[in-house]
Structure 1
Amino acid sequence: MATAAFEDIADTFAFLEDWEDRYRHVIEMGRDLAPLDPAMKVPATKVEGCASQVWLVPSLEAGRFDFAGDSDAMIVKGLIAVLHALYAGLPVEEVRAVDAQAELARLGLDEHLSSQRSNGLRAMVERIRAVSAHAG
């Protein structure tokens, strides 16, 4: 069910055997993510439940889901990039069908993130699912 972009990340993670290398890769993905317009960093786009500040701004084009996101923490910004790869471009009705927990477990994120980061990641997934439910 994963997108080609997410499969690329999974392949890269399989190649990078050391978790520290994977961690650096996630941070690099966050650096490559376009910054969010400061005007979009408002309470309505802020994701509650994250230790860091996180903003997600969803969009729909031709029935396909996308979002922009940002965080004040580089690792979290990288996690936003991972979620973007998982969800961006999917038909909105397929967003809710993605088993994010299983897909992210393929990367080993469930084993290597602190409980605070895991809770924040879960909060971002819940926001994406909720937004797509209202959009579809």
Structure 2
Amino acid sequence: MSLPEDASTALRVFQDAAGWEQRARLLMQWGERLPALDESARTEANRVQGCESQVWLVATLHEDHWHFAAATDARLIRGLVALLLARVNGLSAPALREVDLADWFNQLGLSRQLSPSRANGLNAVLQRMSELASV
């Protein structure tokens, strides 16, 4: 499966990073690039259940391709969510269901940095994306 353009860029940048410190800086930079989510979207209905951090997620469908926007107040999670969005934005619902979260973060060289609770939270975000895309 071919990657969305943002995902290809992320993969190239993270694979070129020299070690964890550089990846950590990149992670924070990706989080800073995450577009702000309108305050009106930070509702209970948009909050992802299963995350220790508060994460809000909204989805829009454009010509059979899903686009997601998200917000969180946790800096590290913001970077991880931004990388997840890079991987899934623009996918069809069937392609979205095929995304392997663990493999994606492994390719980025970030899997060892994902604590079980962070991995569970990101899986909850991906699961919520799939639910929204199957409506």
Is TM more than 0.5 here? yes
Larger mean Cα displacement after TM superposition, 32-41 or 123-132: 123-132
1:100-111 correspondence runs (5 A): 100-111=101-112
Q: Share of identical aligned residues, percent?
A: 34
SS at match of 1:44: helix
1:66-81 correspondence runs (5 A): 66-81=67-82
Larger mean Cα displacement after TM superposition, 79-88 or 2-11: 2-11
1:4 counterpart residue number: 5
How many residues are aligned here? 134
2:39 counterpart residue number: 38
1:38-117 correspondence runs (5 A): 38-117=39-118
Cα distance in 1 between the residues matched to 2:54 and 2:110: 20
Unaligned runs of 5+ in 2: none
TM-superposed deviation, 1:60: 0.4
Verify the 8 A CA contact 2:70 2:81 in the aligned structure 1.
Answer: yes
1:124 counterpart residue number: 125
1:20-39 correspondence runs (5 A): 20-39=21-40
TM-score by length of 1: 0.91
Unaligned runs of 5+ in 1: none
Give the alignment's Cα RMSD to 1 decimal.
1.3
The amino acid of 1:26's aligned partner reads: L
The amino acid of 2:36's aligned partner reads: P
Cα distance in 2 between the residues matched to 1:24 and 1:119: 23
TM-superposed deviation, 1:92: 2.6
TM-superposed deviation, 1:115: 2.0
TM-superposed deviation, 1:29: 0.9
Stretches of 4+ aligned residues off by more than 3 angstroms: none
The Cα offsets for residues 36-59 of structure 1, whole Å up to 9 and x where unpaired, read as: 111100111101111111001011
TM-superposed deviation, 1:108: 2.6
SS at match of 2:52: coil
TM-superposed deviation, 1:24: 1.4
